[in-house]
């Protein structure tokens, strides 16, 4: 919640530079941010309101009020008040702690320092004190404090470079440039202080890629667009300094506009328990009405004679009023069906599960010494019910580190390693990389394992030299030398950096460029090429070219781009080489998930080039169809190319991403990728992760620019999908019935098959409109993979909300940057990865860890176990409390409906707190049906949680029926046995106190035996708690029934001597034994038959685990397999159009070297692909346990 002043809806913003007094009349928000939920004044009312939204808390408050009325209360108010206050206090402390850390994070951000121009001099100010209209100075590597209009910078022509990772997840640099009229201000403080420009622009909004405004200054107006604006969350890079004017501050910045509000999250089990508490209360009301009516009848027919028999002098009771009071008395007595200890136990169990996550060494990342962290304790069991995972790409799935892996030159592959028998082998750490020459120009982090390429370079292979020369010339990279004399590249996209670095390490070093020349060093010889033309990249061309003149006077066109595009431009004489190179790309490179680029050149005639260049100049000056004419001229000259080969670059996935995605898919978890990167990037990563494959029936791409186009594309995709399904009769695509998660199963017809949906951000904006979003959701949910590209942070949240609302599914969002915060807040579960992009995602998350691969353990092990344990806990807890409480109902018919309790009041108080609390806690914290390894090996075990099979309304009614049966056995067997029986001494034992002790002892033993039957995984703690609870019961029983304590508190312990008297009778123990057997045997029989006749996958694996305890299972070796092949281009990986124009204009040429920056980090990535073997696992139940056959990952 933002504590800014309320103001009318802003339609446009008017800001005057260096004039706080003028700007304050508009009441613009200051730069202070608030992500916390409470403050000191609002904490108590808001937190109590949230807590009493939990129906149980309101229920117990109502019972407390009833217990304060002496006429109807047979239990003291203290028994409800203390536990209620304890639960509310514990929850409030936890919420306050969570919010304290949010305040701490806010204060850390708000107290950052920035240089602000105040009173004609630069002063250090805290971020929270920055106002709209202020002029701020930023220095290299500083975070941007607010949304700024760029005024001037240290770079020529007012350029500056920013990294937008916090906004869109991209780590490549973006260019921003100031207006020429303001860039002249430079660093002159006096001129900047006199700057009084007026900006009229759009109102605050969440659109990251759009900005419209006008700057009025010196009687002239200048249009402003997104290229003039630096947004909060960006980092200034490769720019010594810049000045900017604050346009939007604090909550009005586009970053904060895209961050969703902190929401109060509750699990589906919490919501179900709210419903069940209402049902139980309704059930209690019915029981109270029955017993109240019974009391009225008894008072009218028997009560008068009874009072006469007892010589009561009371005036005659009104039977109706007596029944009314009895109704409320029984409501109080029977309230233990849902004791408040249930909620205390739930919180303790969740806390235990959270510590297990924190302590899990298999989720500890030693590279950064980062453990997994459960940042909330209230959502653990929902980790076992996830159906949809929404993942960011950059930093989550990938490391955004490009590595040059292989290449094909003139029909030969370089980069593969062969053994002595000429068999291709995998690269391991034992392999020795190529020994590159040691000098300042070599990037020592670069590794290449094939020595043949170095040999070809030494032998002077002209094709190899031309290939590397092209990589050194055809790019948009800028170079500089740092203070140590080392060559540092400033790259606009990581893939270009990988290619230029590869050429540099093989002896073709890009040195420098001017608008007219490119200088490289070829095997130690410095060569300067004249840059004649730069044919820039765009999304349609999917290629870039440079035309250069070498020192010999030859004109050459060098081109690189998507192989599918470039192959169409080749000269017919390249047919054989084309076939060979195409096979390398599709079978070798793409099969390993590498990004491929085709490399070609053309020798140009001097006369032809001059004629062509004249036409290009004419096209550039025309105003009619300018872009079409230029594109046509590019097409003309980029023809009859000679193929050199292809490159293969790896965008390193995070370790274990492919295995994790496949495991989650086998668990029926659908993964959607929501990324700010462009379409080509997302598709390539989809293929690399095996989320997209060539075996898919179809990949639907939605890229419409209007609502009508998007609607039509969605309609065609659905028609195509259903049409293909009708045409399939071989069973690859089938209709299946899916059971929904309610008591009444809702059958929904869905299409399953290998389909994928890819949609752009601008199309998604139209698709999320009310009349189209249902079509989008229907199509997306039929697809195996969904990828949303170029989406804003707010759109990520909207997609999550769409699935939450209309699919009624449990969602999880995972990301690592500030652009993922709103998505993380919107999902049921938010997971933050503590990566390279700061801690914003972690601070907003419910769980955090360092690597994406830990997600499968979080869900398949901890999530599944938490759900399994919580469900078993709830089933048992409701059972034992129905069994405990409903004995009062049966007793009511034999005590004149007088609201007399059947047990000693101390037993009622201690039953849930002492006698049965620890065993059920031990089961809820430690129990497991199968081991953690088997949970990972058999992801199908996760499905019961998604279908909510272990605890639902049906399960609750079964537990209720079980409890009612046990309560009737507990009451009627002792009642029948004691009806006319004498003890061994000839005296009767059918007194009330002996009957109460016998029933209480039977109850404790029955529920202890029952939890022993329910426990799947025995530990020392389980044994101590279960059998120790029985021992504790008897020790307390004999203590409270002793003469000594009766002598001290005669009014509080009336059952003096009864335990000693009753439990020395053999017939009493026989009654207890009969009661226990009658209560437990039907359950044992039913469970045996169920496991024997209808075993679940969990049952089978558990049986197999028992059989394997004697013999260690053999683990089969994972076969080495290849990724699915798919030819695609990795070019334009986060690459932008327009860099060519910047280079040829010379605007980004530096007058002096900026501060040193680090080069590209290159690391070797060794990945063994075993996915095809893993995908052979089916969702069928595991068979053949008797033969010791296992399915291992």
Enumerate the active-site residues: 392
Pairing of strands 417-418, 424-425: antiparallel
Strands 811-815 vs 241-248: parallel, antiparallel or unpaired: unpaired
- How far does Cα 575 stand from its chain's mean position? 48
Cα-Cα-Cα-Cα torsion 137, 138, 143, 146, nearest 10 degrees, comes to: 30
- Bridge-based pairing of strands 829-833 and 847-849 is parallel
Let me know if 906 is exposed, middle or buried by CB neighbors in 10 A (0-12, 13-18, 19+). Answer: middle
Residue 148 backbone dihedrals phi, psi, to 5 degrees: -115, 145
Residue 953's contacts (CB-CB under 8 Å, 6 or more residues apart) are 272, 275, 276, 742, 743
CA angle 876, 882, 885 (to 5 degrees): 135
Nearest-angstrom CA–CA distance, 849 and 864? 18
Q: Is 409 exposed, middle or buried (0-12, 13-18, 19+ CB in 10 A)?
A: buried
Residues 960 and 458: their CA atoms lie apart, in Å, by 83
What is the DSSP secondary structure assignment for residue 696, as one 8-state letter?
A: S
Closest CA to 279 of 959, 899, 813: 959
Q: Please tell me the distance from the alpha carbon of residue 1061 to that of residue 1059, in angstroms, as a whole number.
A: 5
d(CA 129, CA 427): 55
How many CB atoms neighbour CB 1027 within 10 A?
13
Q: Would you state the torsion angle of the CA atoms of residues 288, 294, 296, 297, taken in this order, to the nearest 10 degrees?
A: 170
In Å, what is the CA distance from 222 to each residue of 16, 198, 1138? 15, 10, 21
User: What are the angstrom distances between the C-alpha of 775 and each of 67, 715, 716?
Assistant: 55, 8, 11
Residue 288 · residue 330 · CB < 8 Å:
yes
Cβ of 420: how many Cβ atoms within 10 Å? Answer: 6
Q: Which helix (H) or strand (E) holds 663?
A: helix 657-666
Sign of CA dihedral 983, 984, 985, 986: positive
Report how far residue 391's alpha carbon sits from residue 816's, in angstroms, rounded to the nearest whole number.
Answer: 10
Helix (H, G, I), strand (E, B) or coil at 142: coil
Q: Is 1037 exposed, middle or buried (0-12, 13-18, 19+ CB in 10 A)?
A: buried
Strand partners, 213: 201, 224
Q: Classify 607 as helix, strand or coil.
A: helix
CA separation for the pair 823, 977 (Å, rounded): 64
Q: What Å distances lie between residue 520 and 210, 474, 491, 529, 547, CA to CA?
A: 38, 11, 16, 8, 15
| Helices 917-926 and 341-359, packing angle to 10 deg | 30
- Give CA–CA dist 599/601, Å, rounded: 7
Number of other residues whose CB lies within 10 A of the CB of residue 897: 26
- Which is it for strands 755-760 and 698-702: parallel, antiparallel or unpaired? parallel
Residues in a beta bridge with 547:
533, 557
CA distance from start to end of the chain? 47
Which one-letter DSSP state was computed for residue 380? G
Query: Which tokens sit at 213?
Result: 């405004």
Report which of 543, 587, 339, 554 is spatially closest to residue 466, judged by C-alpha positions: 554
């Amino acid at each position: 919640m933002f504590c800014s002043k309320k103001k009318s809806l802003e339609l446009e913003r008017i800001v005057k530079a260096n004039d706080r007094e003028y700007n304050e009349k508009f009441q613009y928000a200051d730069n202070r941010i608030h992500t916390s939920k409470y403050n000191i004044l609002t904490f108590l009312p808001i937190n109590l309101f949230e807590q009493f939204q939990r129906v149980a808390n309101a229920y117990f408050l109502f019972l407390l009020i009833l217990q304060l009325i002496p006429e109807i209360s047979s239990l003291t108010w203290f028994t409800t008040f203390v536990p209620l206050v304890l639960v509310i206090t514990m929850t409030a402390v936890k919420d306050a702690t969570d919010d304290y850390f949010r305040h701490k994070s806010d204060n850390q951000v708000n107290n950052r320092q920035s240089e602000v121009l105040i009173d004609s001099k630069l002063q250090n100010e805290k971020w929270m004190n920055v106002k709209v209209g202020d002029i701020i100075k930023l220095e290299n590597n500083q975070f941007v404090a607010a949304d700024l209009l760029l005024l001037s910078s240290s770079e020529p022509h007012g350029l500056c470079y920013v990294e937008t990772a916090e906004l869109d997840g991209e780590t490549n640099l973006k260019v921003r440039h100031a207006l020429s009229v303001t860039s002249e201000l430079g660093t002159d403080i006096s001129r900047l202080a006199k700057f009084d420009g007026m900006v009229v622009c759009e109102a605050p909004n969440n659109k990251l890629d759009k900005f419209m405004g006008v700057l009025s200054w010196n009687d002239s107006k200048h249009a402003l667009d997104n290229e003039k604006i630096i947004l909060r969350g960006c980092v200034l890079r490769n720019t010594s300094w810049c000045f900017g004017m604050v346009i939007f501050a604090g909550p009005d910045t586009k970053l904060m506009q895209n961050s969703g509000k902190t929401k109060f999250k509750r699990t589906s089990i919490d919501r179900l328990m709210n419903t069940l508490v209402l049902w139980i209360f309704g059930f209690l009301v019915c029981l109270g009405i029955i017993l109240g009516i019974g009391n009225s009848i008894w008072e009218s027919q028997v009560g008068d004679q009874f009072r006469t028999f007892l010589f009561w002098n009371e005036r005659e009771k009104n039977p109706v009023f007596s029944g009314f009071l009895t109704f409320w008395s029984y409501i109080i007595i029977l309230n233990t069906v849902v004791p408040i200890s249930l909620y205390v136990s739930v919180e303790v169990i969740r806390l235990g599960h959270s510590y297990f996550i924190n302590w899990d060494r298999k989720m500890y990342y030693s590279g950064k010494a980062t453990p997994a962290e459960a940042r909330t304790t209230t959502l653990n069991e929902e980790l076992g019910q996830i159906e949809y995972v929404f993942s960011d790409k950059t930093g989550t799935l990938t490391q955004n580190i490009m590595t040059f892996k292989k290449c094909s030159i003139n029909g030969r592959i370089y980069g593969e390693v062969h053994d002595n028998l000429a068999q291709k082998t995998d690269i391991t750490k034992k392999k020795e990389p190529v020994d590159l020459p040691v000098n300042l120009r070599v990037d020592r982090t670069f590794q290449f394992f094939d020595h043949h390429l170095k040999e070809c370079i030494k032998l002077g292979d002209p094709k190899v030299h031309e290939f590397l020369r092209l990589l050194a010339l055809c790019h948009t990279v800028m170079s500089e030398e740092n203070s140590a004399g080392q060559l540092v590249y400033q790259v606009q996209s990581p893939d270009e950096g990988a290619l230029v670095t590869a050429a540099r390490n093989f002896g073709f070093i890009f040195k420098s460029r001017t608008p007219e020349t490119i200088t490289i060093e070829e095997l130690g010889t410095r060569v300067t090429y004249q840059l004649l033309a730069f044919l820039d990249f765009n999304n349609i061309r999917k290629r870039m070219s440079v035309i250069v003149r070498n020192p010999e006077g030859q004109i050459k066109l060098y081109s690189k781009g998507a192989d599918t595009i470039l192959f169409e431009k080749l000269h017919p004489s390249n047919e054989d080489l084309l076939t060979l190179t195409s096979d390398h790309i599709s079978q070798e490179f793409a099969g390993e998930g590498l990004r491929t680029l085709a490399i070609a050149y053309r020798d140009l005639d001097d006369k032809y080039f001059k004629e062509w260049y004249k036409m290009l100049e004419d096209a550039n000056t025309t105003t009619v169809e300018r872009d079409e004419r230029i594109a046509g001229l590019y097409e003309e000259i980029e023809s009859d190319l000679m193929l050199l080969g292809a490159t293969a670059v790896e965008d390193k996935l995070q370790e274990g991403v492919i295995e994790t995605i496949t495991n989650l898919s086998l668990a029926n978890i659908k993964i959607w990728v929501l990324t700010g990167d462009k379409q080509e990037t997302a598709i390539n990563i989809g293929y690399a992760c095996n989320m997209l494959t060539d075996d898919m029936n179809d990949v639907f791409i939605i890229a419409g620019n209007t609502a009508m186009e998007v609607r039509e594309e969605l309609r065609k995709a659905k028609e195509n999908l259903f049409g293909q399904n009708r045409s399939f009769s071989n069973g690859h695509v089938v209709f299946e019935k899916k059971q929904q998660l309610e008591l009444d199963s809702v059958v929904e017809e869905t299409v399953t098959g290998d389909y994928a949906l890819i949609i752009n951000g601008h199309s998604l904006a139209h698709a999320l409109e009310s009349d189209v979003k249902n079509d989008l959701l229907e199509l997306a949910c039929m697809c195996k993979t969904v990828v949303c590209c170029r989406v804003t942070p707010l759109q990520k949240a909207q997609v999550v909300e769409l699935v939450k609302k209309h699919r009624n599914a449990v969602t999880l969002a995972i990301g690592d940057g500030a652009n993922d915060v709103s998505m993380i807040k919107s999902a049921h579960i938010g997971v933050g990865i503590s990566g390279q992009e700061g801690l914003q995602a972690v601070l907003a998350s419910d769980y955090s860890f360092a690597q994406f691969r830990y997600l499968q353990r979080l869900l398949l092990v901890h999530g599944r176990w938490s759900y399994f344990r919580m469900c078993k806990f709830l089933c048992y807890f409701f059972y034992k409390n129905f069994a405990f409480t409903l004995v009062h109902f049966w007793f009511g018919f034999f005590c004149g409906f007088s609201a007399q309790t059947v047990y000693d009041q101390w037993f009622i108080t201690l039953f849930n707190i002492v006698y049965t609390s620890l065993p059920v806690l031990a089961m809820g914290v430690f129990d497991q049906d199968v081991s953690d390894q088997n949970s990972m090996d058999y992801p199908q075990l996760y499905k019961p949680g998604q279908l909510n099979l272990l605890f639902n309304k049906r399960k609750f009614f079964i537990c209720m029926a079980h409890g009612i049966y046990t309560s009737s056995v507990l009451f009627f067997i002792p009642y029948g046995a004691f009806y006319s029986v004498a003890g061994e001494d000839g005296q009767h034992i059918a007194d009330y106190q002996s009957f109460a002790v016998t029933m209480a002892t039977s109850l404790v033993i029955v529920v202890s035996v029952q939890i022993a039957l329910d426990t799947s995984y025995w530990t020392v703690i389980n044994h101590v708690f279960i059998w120790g609870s029985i021992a504790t019961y008897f020790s307390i029983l004999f203590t409270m029934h002793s003469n000594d304590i009766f002598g001290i508190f005669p009014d509080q312990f009336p059952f003096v001597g009864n335990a000693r008297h009753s439990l020395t009778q053999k017939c009493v123990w026989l009654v207890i034994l009969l009661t226990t057997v009658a209560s437990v045997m039907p359950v044992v029989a039913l469970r045996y038959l169920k496991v024997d006749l209808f075993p679940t996958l969990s049952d089978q694996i558990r049986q197999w685990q028992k059989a394997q305890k004697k013999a260690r299972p053999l683990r089969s070796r994972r076969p080495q397999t290849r990724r699915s092949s798919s030819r695609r281009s990795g070019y334009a990986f986060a690459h932008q159009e327009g860099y060519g124009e910047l280079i040829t204009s010379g605007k980004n040429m530096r007058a002096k070297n900026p501060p040193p920056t680090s080069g590209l980090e290159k690391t070797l990535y060794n990945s063994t692909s075993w996915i095809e073997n893993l995908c052979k696992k089916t969702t069928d139940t595991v068979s053949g346990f008797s033969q010791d056959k296992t399915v291992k990952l």
